[in-house]
Amino acid sequence: MNTHAAMPNLTGPGGGPYLRNAWYVAGWADELVADEPQAKVFLEEPVALFRDADGVAKAIGGRCPHRFAPLGRGRMADGILTCPYHGLGFDGSGTCVLNPHQGEAPPKVSVAAYPLVERYRLLWIWMGDAAKADPATIPDFAWLDDPRWEAVRGSVVAEGHFELYVDNILDLSHANFVHPALVANSFTLGERKFWQDGEKVFSRYTRPDDYLSEGISAMVGTTGRKQDFIGEVVWHAPGNLYFDFRVADPGTPYDQMTLLPSIHAFTPETAGTTHYLWATARDFALGDAEFSAIMRGALEFAFEHEDAPLIRDAHRLMKGQDFWDLRPLVLSGDGGGIRARRQLRRMIAAEQGRVLEDN
């Protein structure tokens, strides 16, 4: 237990309200190993993740009702998660089913049970009304689980409110400035289009017949040649983004372009910290470990060491104030982020039975 990181501090004003009836990414499925439960915090709530006796991933309330210890730091005993402090055992429904003391019956107590679905190599958690949790509404990231695709990936807890991270992906015009080694002019000079379709928000960048960055050119093997480029981001509320990145020799039909699909999933941990999970895949150079290592290193540097510190600083400079109260200047690149922020605000209001006068 002593080798675990400390639980985050949870006092102070919160970062919500949050959308509760929604699927959030809770982590990489294969990182949740049998007999190694995890203690995490989502939406400022402690959650314990574990695999039951059948290997099924479960998520239950992460604070023991007895003495408030982090259940996710406990041990597994026959598929039961036992509290690290006094050994009460909870099953995947959050019900206390084990009392190791004096042969007594388990107390009639339970912690929350969060619907948890393992899909596309990810764990998806529902932090709201379980009766409304429909796995069919989990956004499609099938390529993550498709052997034709090989992904590099990462996950990190990053400082900053999660909506700032969502904004970052929905406005890829930042890339030229934040990731100088990775991109060229496409995101700044290419045609941009933003739109909403149902609850989804889209950002599309199109730049035909121009040079890619040296880094991307080398990665897709087009160094020195102009390319067509189409990048499309899809936002699934509240914080799951798909990035469809396509390049090809000019004139290549859309479905024959080289595709690099990405996921950027943001789940709020606390008011000021965000679980950032990412992956980018390719359907070439499969099994090439050196290629993977270079690709992974470049992306990890971009997301965790270029984006994250900048968003951390913007978060700090916001001084805990509301985004809209700060009256942000709107640029042409904000069409995606602002649609998503407004959509999320509407969804939260609807969920809480509130009527928004503006928006």
Question: Which residues form the interface with a copy of itself (CB under 8 A)?
Answer: 1-2, 4, 6-11, 39, 46, 62-70, 73-75, 82-88, 99-104, 107, 109, 159, 164, 167, 171, 173-174, 176-178, 188-189, 192, 305-306, 309-310, 312-314, 316-320, 326, 328-333
Nearer to a copy of itself, 225 or 316 (CB): 316
CB of 261 to a copy of itself, least distance (A): 25
CB of 208 to a copy of itself, least distance (A): 15
Q: Which amino acid is at 39?
A: A
Nearer to a copy of itself, 146 or 300 (CB): 300
Nearer to a copy of itself, 141 or 187 (CB): 187
CB of 299 to a copy of itself, least distance (A): 14
CB of 78 to a copy of itself, least distance (A): 16
Enter the tokens of residue 61. Answer: 């309330």
Q: Among all chains, which residue has been given the structure tokens 């699909």?
A: 261
- Distance set, CA 295 to CA 84, 177, 347 (Å): 39, 20, 37
Q: Report d(CA 51, CA 34) in Å as an integer.
A: 5
Nearer to a copy of itself, 283 or 304 (CB): 304
Q: Count CA atoms closer than 13 A to 30's CA, side-chain side.
A: 6
CB of 321 to a copy of itself, least distance (A): 9
Indicate the helix (H) or strand (E) that contains 349: helix 335-351
Alpha carbon dihedral 72, 74, 78, 80, in 10-degree steps, equals -50
Tell me, rounded to whole angstroms, the distance of Cα 260 from its chain centroid: 18
Q: Which amino acid is at 154?
A: G
* Residue 176 backbone phi and psi in degrees, to 5: -60, -30
CB of 55 to a copy of itself, least distance (A): 24
Nearer to a copy of itself, 87 or 121 (CB): 87
CB of 317 to a copy of itself, least distance (A): 5
Q: Report d(CA 72, CA 64) in Å as an integer.
A: 9
Nearer to a copy of itself, 9 or 131 (CB): 9
Nearer to a copy of itself, 108 or 148 (CB): 108
Q: Does 238 sit behind a cis peptide bond, omega within 30 degrees of 0 on the bond before it? A: yes
Cβ neighbours of residue 145 closer than 8 Å, sequence gap 6 or more: 119, 120, 121
- Distance set, CA 222 to CA 190, 219, 261 (Å): 19, 8, 18
